[in-house]
Structure 1
Amino acid sequence: MIRLGAVGLVLAAAVAGLVFSDAWLWVAVEWSPPAYAGLYERGGLDTSTTVVLIVATVVKVALLWLILRTPAPGPLDRREKALRRLLYLAVAYTLVLWYPIALLPGPVDAAFQLALWTAIDVLFLLVIRWRSRLLRAAAGVMFAVELAGMANELLDQLDLPELGPVGILAPGLLSGAAATIVTVLGQRRDGRWSLGTQIAGWSSLGVNALVILLNLVFGGVSSGDLGVLVMVQAISSGDLAVLVLVDAAGLVGTVWMAATARELPAEGRPAELPPARRRVIRVAVAAVAVLPLIALIHPEQTPRLTYTGWSMDCYDRPAFGDLKPAERDAAFLCRARSTEGGVPPMFPDSLSNQEILAYGRALCRTTDRQEQQTILKRAGSARSTWGADPWDLVYVCPEVVGATHPELLRSATQTEEANTAYVAEKNAECRDPWPRTKGVVQATANYFLFVDGDPGYLVHDPDDQAADEAAEQATNKVYDDRSLIGVAGSAALVGHVDDVSDVCLTVKAFRTAPPQRIAGWDQVSEVPIVSRSGRLTVPERDGGEVGAGAPMPNLAIAGKGHYRLRVHVRVGDAGEEHLVVVFPGASEKRLELKR
């Protein structure tokens, strides 16, 4: 009933496709979305491709009828049962499961196929009665090469070092064909598989040869391990018919897998081997399967560039506290090989991962910059005179760096919480220096400056179309006058008097000019400023290193127009304090109210 239902469904869907649309016909015959054929860009199928699809329907229906035959009755041991189930899983993957798995990330598909065929190949070695140690050993080698190619593909998708040369271990037609040859030979010597099953196996090799030929002709055809899943990457009008034919022929390999699973039971098998001999065989098979892989592993002296400055995993740069212990070495390798900003890497690419990690731990044990420079020079670093920074070394020796820089051990959340607490503490140290006179809007906060010589802070119109140009001009003018206030249209840069990294800043806006409060201040200046968008404010820190530690109000309370900006400055025991007063005023005069 299942066979009749599946075959009838394919035939009915193909007939419906002929009646209704080319997209439906494609789905019915090829069992893949229309986008794979580029039907939406083409506008439909030409006559020759439609005819080929009809022929492919007949071929695929016939092969599907063979695939869905009922398993042969007979006793099976646990290995044979497992092999039958895995072969049917491989058949299901080829027919229907490949599409939903293809929607997942690429490494998932590669890992699934590697795990599936590893189990199948191992069971082939154990279940098939090879009747020749040499043939079994050859099968083990071929299976190992095939699996190494699959592992290489998985490692490549995970951006990890590969096992060996891609040209030798590339998964696909050649390694799959070699594994198929030894398996069919083993089936022939075993005796339980019919001639038809063996013919299907040899026929699948013919499909592989066909795909290799098409790959040479069209340059865009690639195939899966058994020549079952065929894709054309650059499909022209003529190539689409070729894709349909190759895909239909590829089901021969699926017929072979299904027939192999179907005919596993056998009568009159020889008596079980003694336990000691079975153990010897298991060890031999495991050695044949594993030793070729071990031989392909690179020696440690060969550079393994698992993580470079351009690796995808190196862009995020997570905090130390957000990494698991097993991830910290990789984070250090990212930083050690980084060329961000155009600077040379800390270590050359000629060093392996382990050598770089060893040098990193040696840097942790140094007591001064000179020792670090010596180690870096010995390692061949292009920037040996720079030494090494603790925020890089913390990933390889947290116990050493954390003793002097505990803040580097925090997670991103902990760092954010610590910064928030620090900003709140600094804001709490600042008081309103004119508490009895309330502005229409006002705010008091600590303004954080760059430690290495920030000229001051802006009072500006951030929505002015020429805001950046005005800010640059105001910065250039800040030292033109002893009051340290540079004005350019909608921006005024207020400099600081003392050599400080932050100032206590209070801003107030009034509707009319307030009293000139001069007593208690070292200097008081008044300059003109304009708001072209109806805004005047002071930049906030907002997660950065520079800016006000609390939200700043809009000081242009009268909307667009001209304003007066009065700046009070004094330096005392509490540090440097600034009081900025803004009120409407059309005067263009610059006043020095106190000097």
Structure 2
Amino acid sequence: MGLVLGDAWLWAAVEWSPPAVAEFYIGGGFDTPTVVALLVAALVKAALLWLILRAPAPGPLDRRAKALRRLLYLAVAYALVLRYPIALLPDAVDAAFQLALWTAIDVLYLLVIRWRSRMLRAAAGAVFAVELAAMADVLLDELDLPELGSGYIVELALMLGGVAATLITLVGQRRDGRWSRGTQTAGWLSVGVYALVFPLDVFGRMSGGDMTVPVMMDALGYVGTVWIAATARELPAEGRPADLPPARRRVIRVAVTAVAVLPIIALIHPEATPHLTYTGWSMDCYDRPSFGDLKPAERDAAFLCRARSTEGGVPPMFPDSLSDQEILAYGRALCRAKDRDEQRALLTRAGSASARSADQWDLVYVCPEIVGAAHPELLWSTTEAEAANAAYIAEKNAKCRDPWPRTKGVVQATANYFLFVDGDPGYLVHDPEDEAADEAAEQAMGKVYDDSTRVGVTDSAVLIGHVADVADVCLTVKAFRTPPPQRTAGWDQVNEVPIVSRSGQLTVPEMGEGGEVGAGAPMPNLAIAGKGRYRLRVYVRVDDAEEEQHLVVVFPGASRKRLKLKPRPVAGRALSFNSPSSGGRRAVARGAGGRSQAELWS
């Protein structure tokens, strides 16, 4: 009927899912290999379903064995039917149901199966615990709670818990003696099917939209259900099924051998096939380790990650058609290229879809002796980079001096404020706990260019712009209980504006760990009188060496006026309101990345 009514109904007949699901896969209709695969899968699934639905073996059962049989048949019903309506519920419901079901089954396995060894029973309990921990981990993930797994070793152990549980259950069945060779063979075949998942999944990815492999994987997946049903069927101790005839046993041995050998064959590629250690979607490639943190044997893999990365939606440096060895050879050739034009020519020859040249922080993994000679900081470990960054910040802070050393504030601090090297309008004085802090910061940034003072004001945020072409400014902040003297002499600009603290805090953003923007030292809370209105006075000057210095004074005050106490710059000095184009001297010490001030506020 599926062949007569069309592809959607053929899909529904074989895959046991609604015809609407098939529309996602059909497109212009199934090709001949997919139709053939569906017909073969239909026969395979029909045969497996026949084995699943065989009547239970007669014989007495105690209370525990009856409970185990019912739960095993419930697991079979879930695999065949129940998973479809349960899929309509939240994923956490499905995860909780499976955890409860298999917890009960595993406990009854320990009690019902005659293990004939305390050590084997204890080992089975440990393996079942790992399997259940993996299910619990899935449930915690669905509930957005902290997961059990941390690290690849734990994740791998949890992933293999189900396989180990199947294996040790098969050992127990063999020692028990109740279950026939056919049932045990189905169990071993289910393990073989699990082993086939990875190579067949890789093959399916390489074959693009071909549906042959997914259809066959779905059909073979019911072998495990056959084993569960057979385990439930043969629970009675009396009336043990007779062994299979020798001819059928030989056929089963051949099938088991084929399932065991096929995964190995699938993993072996011809010499001409590219060997892919890492691809752009490998989880390991999301991290970018420092060169100094890697062992020599790990550096090639790190470069392969970068070479195949599609981070940011850009094409990878090299296509997947190249093997790892070819990419490493091209990488070393890129290191020896005379200029970027020669690098682009090499990438074009390699079939790269990216027109960009190679970056030094990528090439350092394959030719550290070449890149390190020009950029020794790229050879640093994370510890060395952090030490260099801390030393650089301390050096910049040490160059900044308090312009009012004899006028002590209730709280005060002096530090270098690092601006984003690709263009920041300035720095922020704000109430970070205000519910509308983000909105206030955006509004202040929009107002910073309203007049020549370069001070953008909203209720709880003030954005103070820099006036020279600088990458950072020396910043001193002081808080007073009463207005201090104005003392405008020696300053290019002095402005006074209102600001509100709704939470009892006013401060300047500090540079976070690994950040590029913010104050190089902790900044105090300038709202010393708690919640309320304050006045904020800003002093700005640029010395002969084009170094910019700011003094921010905060004190309680209800006035909402903006005052220009010294509105014009010093005569003859040309002031710029742009960020530097050569601020990369700081990026060398603290990494090539960075975020703008607006991103930092968000």
Aligned pair in 2 of structure 1 residues 328, 28: CA closer, same or farther (>3 Å)? farther
Equivalent residue, structure 1, for 2:426: 456
Aligned pair in 2 of structure 1 residues 332, 43: CA closer, same or farther (>3 Å)? closer
Aligned pair in 2 of structure 1 residues 291, 457: CA closer, same or farther (>3 Å)? closer
Q: TM-score, normalised by structure 2?
A: 0.58
Structure 1: gaps spanning 5 or more residues: 1-13, 70-88, 118-144, 175-211, 232-240, 257-288
Is 1:515 equivalent to 2:516 in the alignment? no
Equivalent residue, structure 2, for 1:99: 128
Which of residues 551, 567, 579 in structure 2 aligns to 1:579? 551
Cα distance in 1, alignment partners of residues 100 and 268 from structure 2: 50
Is 1:588 equivalent to 2:560 in the alignment? yes
The superposition leaves residues 69-107 of structure 1 with CA deviations (integer Å, 9 ceiling, x where unpaired) of: 9xxxxxxxxxxxxxxxxxxx9x98996675356468575
Matches within 5 A, 1:311-322: 311-322=282-293
CA contact (8 A) 2:418 2:519 kept: yes
Is 1:352 equivalent to 2:323 in the alignment? yes
The secondary structure found in structure 1 opposite 2:494 is strand
Which of residues 453, 472, 496 in structure 2 aligns to 1:483? 453
Matches within 5 A, 1:179-218: none
The superposition leaves residues 203-257 of structure 1 with CA deviations (integer Å, 9 ceiling, x where unpaired) of: xxxxxxxxx9xx96xx863339xx9xx45xxxxxxxxx666227889xx99x99x
Cα distance in 1, alignment partners of residues 269 and 370 from structure 2: 32
CA contact (8 A) 1:347 1:381 kept: yes
The superposition leaves residues 143-168 of structure 1 with CA deviations (integer Å, 9 ceiling, x where unpaired) of: xx9999887667799x999999xx9x
CA contact (8 A) 2:501 2:532 kept: yes
Equivalent residue, structure 2, for 1:560: 531
How many residue pairs match? The answer is: 417
Q: How far did 1:459 drift? A: 0.7
Q: How far did 1:309 drift? A: 2.2
Equivalent residue, structure 2, for 1:244: 232
Equivalent residue, structure 1, for 2:7: none
Q: How far did 1:441 drift? A: 0.7
Is 1:391 equivalent to 2:361 in the alignment? yes
The superposition leaves residues 1-31 of structure 1 with CA deviations (integer Å, 9 ceiling, x where unpaired) of: xxxxxxxxxxxxx85648xxx8xx439998x
The secondary structure found in structure 1 opposite 2:338 is coil
Equivalent residue, structure 2, for 1:367: 338
Matches within 5 A, 1:287-302: 297-302=268-273
Q: How far did 1:465 drift? A: 1.6
Cα distance in 2, alignment partners of residues 583 and 356 from structure 1: 62
CA contact (8 A) 2:292 2:380 kept: yes
CA contact (8 A) 2:196 2:263 kept: no
Cα distance in 2, alignment partners of residues 97 and 522 from structure 1: 75
CA contact (8 A) 2:318 2:351 kept: yes
Equivalent residue, structure 2, for 1:186: none
Aligned pair in 2 of structure 1 residues 507, 156: CA closer, same or farther (>3 Å)? farther
Cα distance in 2, alignment partners of residues 40 and 377 from structure 1: 52
Aligned pair in 2 of structure 1 residues 111, 330: CA closer, same or farther (>3 Å)? farther
Which of residues 389, 402, 409 in structure 2 aligns to 1:419? 389
Aligned pair in 2 of structure 1 residues 247, 310: CA closer, same or farther (>3 Å)? farther
The secondary structure found in structure 1 opposite 2:488 is coil
Cα distance in 2, alignment partners of residues 148 and 451 from structure 1: 57
Aligned pair in 2 of structure 1 residues 524, 27: CA closer, same or farther (>3 Å)? farther
The secondary structure found in structure 2 opposite 1:326 is helix
CA contact (8 A) 2:495 2:565 kept: yes
Equivalent residue, structure 2, for 1:468: 438
Cα distance in 1, alignment partners of residues 370 and 203 from structure 2: 30
RMSD between superposed Cα atoms in Å: 5.0
Equivalent residue, structure 1, for 2:353: 382
Cα distance in 1, alignment partners of residues 338 and 324 from structure 2: 24
Cα distance in 2, alignment partners of residues 592 and 310 from structure 1: 56
Equivalent residue, structure 1, for 2:68: 26
Matches within 5 A, 1:223-372: 223=224, 230=227, 244-245=232-233, 297-372=268-343
Cα distance in 1, alignment partners of residues 334 and 434 from structure 2: 51
Aligned pair in 2 of structure 1 residues 111, 402: CA closer, same or farther (>3 Å)? farther
Cα distance in 2, alignment partners of residues 298 and 40 from structure 1: 41
Cα distance in 1, alignment partners of residues 266 and 528 from structure 2: 77
The secondary structure found in structure 2 opposite 1:400 is helix
Q: How far did 1:324 drift? A: 1.8
CA contact (8 A) 2:440 2:460 kept: yes
